[in-house]
Structure formats: C-alpha cells, structure tokens
Amino acid sequence: MSSGPRIGKDEWVAREGEQRERRSGLLGGIARAQARTPWWAFLAVFVVLACLVPVVTSDSYIQRVAFDTTIFMLLALGLNVVVGWGGLLDLGYVAFFGFGAYLYAILGSSQFDIHVPTIVVIPVVTLAGALLGLVVGLPSWRLVGDYLAIVTLFALQIFRSVITNGHDIFGSNVTNGVNGILKVDPLSWFGHALPVSHRGLFNPDYLYVAIGFFVVIYVALRFVNASRTGRAWRALREDPLAATSMGMPIDWLKLMAFAFGAGIAALTGTLTASVNAAVFPDNFDVPQLITIYAMVILGGAGSQAGAIVGAVVVNVMLESLRSPDNSRWVFYIAVLLLLLPVLRSARKYLLLVAATVAFGFAVHAIAGAIDPAWTRGTTPGGGAVGRAIAHWAIVPQSLGSTREASYVLLIAAVLAVVTIRGRWKLVALVPTLYLASFVWENVLGPQPEITRYILLGAILVGVMTTRPAGILGERRVEIV
C-alpha cells in the first residue's frame, strides 16, 4: 500500500485504539482497568454482593426487592436475546413469562390437585415455553420491525384473553379466570418443600435459588453469544440480507432467538409463581413488558451486563422512589444535572443556583409576612432535608385550586425558558426553578406512587439522550 497517495489516507482511524490507550485521568484509568478485568470477576463480585443482602439486612422488604430485581435480571437477560441479539421486536415477551407462571401453577396447586415435583416441572415449563416461543416466532419469517411488534403484541393479548377467560375452557376451569390460581406449591427438593415465608417474613432461600438460576443462565448465554449461533444472531440484527448472503439460515436463527427468550421467561415465571404462591392475569401485562424493555434499552440492548445494570437501576429506583424523601433527592439532583448541559458554564451555573436559593428565601419571607398560612404546611416525607426545604419553599396549609394552576404555570414557564435565548434565559430560570420546587413539594412529592414513574421516565429520557446506545451498549458505527 506504500504506492498509494498520501492524501486521503485515513490513518487517524487506525490509531483509534492507541488514542483510547492514551486517555489520561481517572476515567481513562477506569476504562483500562475495566477492559483488563475478566467478565467472570464482575459476575462473581456481583453475585457475592447479591447473596450478602439477607446477611446484611434482616429487612424482609429489602430481601424481597432483591428477589424481584433478580427476577427482572433474568427477564431482561431473556429479552436481550430476542431484542438485543436477534434484533427482533418481540412485544409478546411477557406472555411467555405468564405462560411459565401459569403452567407451573396448573401443574402444582390445588387447582387440579396435581403436585408435580419442582425438579420435573421446571424443565418441562422451560421447554414448553421455548416451544411456544417457536410458534409465536413463526411470523418473524415474513415480518420484521414494527410489523413483527404488532403481531407479537396481539400474541400477548391472546394470552391475556385465554387466562382471564380460562375458567371455562371446554367446560373445565383451567386458569380460574380473573381470580387467578391460589395456593400454588412452593419449590421443593426431593419431597422437601422450600417454605415461601419464615414466620410471615420472606424466605431468603428463594433469593439464593433465583441467584443460582441467574448465574446458570448468565454463563450459558455468555457461551451461546460466543458460539457461532451467537455470532449469527448479531449478523442477523445488523443486516439480515448480508447474513443470508453468508449462508446463515436466518429463519431458523430467528426462531432460535424467540425460543431462547421464551424459555428463559417461562423459567422465570416458575420462580414468581412459587414465591407468590399465586398467579393473576394482571401480573403479566403491558406495564411489566414496558418495564422489562426499559431495563434492556437503558442498560444497552445487546449487552448482557447492560441488561443486569438496567434491571438493577430500574427496579431499585422504582422501589426507592416509593419514599418521598428518596424521590425528593432524585428530583433535585435530576434538576441540577439537567441544568448542566443547558448552561455550559460553571460561573453561570453557580450564579443561577445562588440566585434561586436567595430568591426562594426572599419569596418565602414575603409570603410568610403577608399571610402565615401560606408557609405553614409540611413538606412530604419530613426528615431533616424536608424540614430545611420547608424554610425555603412555599408549602401552604391548604392548596385549593393552586394545585392545578401551579402545574399549568410550570409547564408554561418551562416552555418559555426553552424559547428564550441569552441573558434573559438565566433570569427566567430563577422563578421557573422555584416554581418547579413548589410544584414538587405540593403536588408531585405527596404522591410518590404516581410520580415515581414520571421521574423514572425523565431519567430514562436524560440517560438515553446522552448515551443513545444505553449505559453499557455498543457504540453504533454507521457505514457512510
């Protein structure tokens, strides 16, 4: 290649790797250390930490959250096979989860008084789920993208219809309809049942079982991904036509991706059914689907570690936002972080924060002087920070119609700030931020069950716009 002209040689791309090596500072060091650490070391540390949860805390609620997070990690791993690796938009995924749970419940409860031992029922359910995945995946031979999404979404609707009306299938009560199947058997090991609760508290053994399944699935998928089938899935995701041109049987590969995902989801369903000792139709619906998708996409579709990170972040965040104190922290930190890219200058940033704080105290003092009732209310959650905030933000004793008015005003103010340019933007931001805190303390904060989803959504938007490929997703490179 020495004979070629010097002009136009793109040596700079060749040095991309060297540039990465030369990255200085803390971040560069972390990136290099991360690249050198083998994957199983991360997995081992993570598993040890997860197993330590019941040792560190005897709080049954936290243990249960850890269990649910592990369930979501399994579901995210399965969905990652279909969506992240195969590139198939499967909106029926939750149906396989529900199918697994229901099949487990039917094979082990007083519904038909069948009690198949765990050691038999788990492989059976997993295989049956995988087979169902093959069938539901068949339309993927002809359909891709949004077309496949809509077809699989209807598969989920069919599943929902069957289980909610399954109290009368050819005259026999199979699923007990909307009331769900109760008294589902716990997991058992050669006749020894694993009780779901100890003296009314969550039995941490279930957490260990779930983590055990997680490790097996994670490692198995790791090998699958490194195999030629895993490689072919990635080829299929990137370019189905090119994959066909390499001789890959893409129809079969699509079905395999569906079957793997469905099998894992069905397996996870058995754990949920056993730990809850019941299954209900509402546990397997679109909200669960969206949550699992959010986990996979936030973590970075295609990355196994990303699916884990996504599951942990989303589920732990949703749980912790149930407390107004936690959600207040998240709200204010999110607002402060959101301002960073808006201002792009440390001086302006500090000025704005200081101005807002001063503005708040001033307004608070004036309002208190006019009518003490305007500042006599209590902030949601209380706590030291909550009480401190009460000296700054206006929290009236009773809101009346200001509740709706403030909300509408805030939206108008945000729209105005977005359109204003230059110095006045900074000026307009001060009352807008103060209004935002008013809305938070009076309207949103007191209703964490609603606002946690709003907050999570806002965080998702923030993370995804700064890292479009997700937290651990591969960087996208387009051929130009």
Partner 1 sequence: MTATPTPAGPAGAGAASPTPLLRLDNVDTFYGPIHILQGVTLEVMPGELVSLLGGNASGKSTTLKTALGLVRPRTGTVSIAGEDVTTRTTSYRIAKGLAIVPENRRLFAPMTVLENLEMGAYLHGSPTKEDFERVYTLFPRVYERRSQLAGTLSGGEQQMVAVGRALMCRPRLLLMDEPSMGLAPILVEKSFEIIQQVHEAGVAMLIVEQNANMALSIADRGYVLSTGRIVLQGTAAMLLADDDLKKAYLGR
Strand partners, 197: 202
In the complex, minimum distance from the CB of residue 464 to partner 1, in angstroms, rounded to a whole number: 18
Q: Could you say whether residue 282 binds partner 1 (CB under 8 A)?
A: no
The smaller minimum CB distance to partner 1, of residues 14 and 33, is found at 14
Selected binder of partner 1 within 195, 249, 372, 468 (CB under 8 A): 249
Q: Could you say whether residue 231 binds partner 1 (CB under 8 A)?
A: yes
In the complex, minimum distance from the CB of residue 217 to partner 1, in angstroms, rounded to a whole number: 24
The smaller minimum CB distance to partner 1, of residues 246 and 450, is found at 246
Place of tokens 């230059």: 422
Q: Could you say whether residue 242 binds partner 1 (CB under 8 A)?
A: yes
Q: Could you say whether residue 18 binds partner 1 (CB under 8 A)?
A: no
Gyration radius (Cα) of the chain, Å = 26
Selected binder of partner 1 within 21, 59, 168, 239 (CB under 8 A): 239
The smaller minimum CB distance to partner 1, of residues 8 and 422, is found at 8
Stretch that binds partner 1, among 58-66, 247-255, 264-272, 290-298 (CB under 8 A): 247-255
In the complex, minimum distance from the CB of residue 474 to partner 1, in angstroms, rounded to a whole number: 6
Q: Could you say whether residue 241 binds partner 1 (CB under 8 A)?
A: yes
In the complex, minimum distance from the CB of residue 87 to partner 1, in angstroms, rounded to a whole number: 12
Alpha carbons 340 and 107: distance in angstroms, whole number: 55
CB 156 within 8 A of CB 91: yes
Q: Could you say whether residue 1 binds partner 1 (CB under 8 A)?
A: yes
Stretch that binds partner 1, among 41-49, 127-135, 240-248, 351-359 (CB under 8 A): 240-248
Per-residue b or e along 76-102, where b marks 16 or more CB atoms closer than 10 Å to that residue's CB: bbbbbbbbbbbbbbbbbbbbbbbbbbb
Stretch that binds partner 1, among 4-12, 105-113, 210-218, 319-327 (CB under 8 A): 4-12
In the 8-state DSSP scheme, what is residue 181? B
Tokens of 143: 């359909």
Site for partner 1 in 461-480 (CB under 8 A): 474-479
Dihedrals phi, psi of 103, to nearest 5 degrees: -65, -40
CA nearest neighbour of 389 among 447, 345, 469, 331? 331
Proportion of the chain in helix, strand, coil states, percent, rounded to 5: 70, 5, 25
Tokens of 337: 């972080």
How large is the greatest C-alpha to C-alpha distance in the chain, in angstroms?
85
User: 339 exposed, middle or buried (CB, 10 Å; 0-12, 13-18, 19+)?
Assistant: middle
Stretch that binds partner 1, among 32-40, 121-129, 234-242, 309-317 (CB under 8 A): 234-242
In the complex, minimum distance from the CB of residue 88 to partner 1, in angstroms, rounded to a whole number: 17
Q: Could you say whether residue 5 binds partner 1 (CB under 8 A)?
A: yes
Tokens of 79: 């969905």
In the complex, minimum distance from the CB of residue 232 to partner 1, in angstroms, rounded to a whole number: 6
Q: Could you say whether residue 246 binds partner 1 (CB under 8 A)?
A: yes
In the complex, minimum distance from the CB of residue 148 to partner 1, in angstroms, rounded to a whole number: 20
The smaller minimum CB distance to partner 1, of residues 165 and 229, is found at 229
Residues 6+ apart with CB under 8 A from 414: 432, 436
Distance spanning both ends of the chain, measured CA to CA: 23
Q: Could you say whether residue 245 binds partner 1 (CB under 8 A)?
A: yes
Per-residue b or e along 3-28, where b marks 16 or more CB atoms closer than 10 Å to that residue's CB: eeeeeeeeeeeeeeeeeeeeeeeeee
In the complex, minimum distance from the CB of residue 138 to partner 1, in angstroms, rounded to a whole number: 17
The smaller minimum CB distance to partner 1, of residues 168 and 238, is found at 238
CB 339 within 8 A of CB 352: yes
Alpha carbons 393 and 453: distance in angstroms, whole number: 24
Question: Site size for partner 1, by CB under 8 A?
Answer: 31
Stretch that binds partner 1, among 23-31, 61-69, 156-164, 226-234 (CB under 8 A): 226-234
Dihedrals phi, psi of 114, to nearest 5 degrees: -100, 140
Q: Could you say whether residue 244 binds partner 1 (CB under 8 A)?
A: yes
Selected binder of partner 1 within 17, 200, 400, 422 (CB under 8 A): 17
Binding site for partner 1 (CB under 8 A): 1, 5, 8-10, 13-14, 16-17, 228, 231-232, 234-235, 238-239, 241-249, 474-479
